[in-house]
Amino acid sequence: MFHIYCPHCGEYREEEEFHPAGQAHIARPLDPEACSDKEWGEYLFFRKNPRGLHHELWVHAAGCRKFFNMTRDTQTYEIKEVYKIGEQPSVVAE
């Protein structure tokens, strides 16, 4: 059970209030029609699965309903930071 700091509510809440929404920073291609099948397939289906730091998208579903990003160590489950949509992580894998 994670204890997650919601950057909008400004406090820690229990994991059961949140939903994970996959890898963060997957931007929708601005011109989908210009994508090849392969490029579109990569956008749709291909995700990182690192052992270590991972940037994830979460939503505070039972709380403020805002999406936000989380940098999490998939090995230790430490949450290194949370940051709002549109912001860049300050903790990144080397």
Residues that bind other proteins (CB under 8 A): 1-3, 8-11, 13-14, 16-17, 19, 21, 27-28, 31-33, 35, 37, 40-41, 43-44, 57, 59, 61-67, 76-79, 85-86
Whether the CB-CB separation of 69 and 59 falls below 8 Å is answered with no
- Kindly state the helix (H) or strand (E) to which residue 38 belongs, with its residue range: helix 37-45
Which C-beta is closer to other proteins: that of 45 or that of 49? 45
Which C-beta is closer to other proteins: that of 29 or that of 92? 29
Q: 65 burial class (0-12, 13-18, 19+ CB within 10 angstroms)?
A: exposed
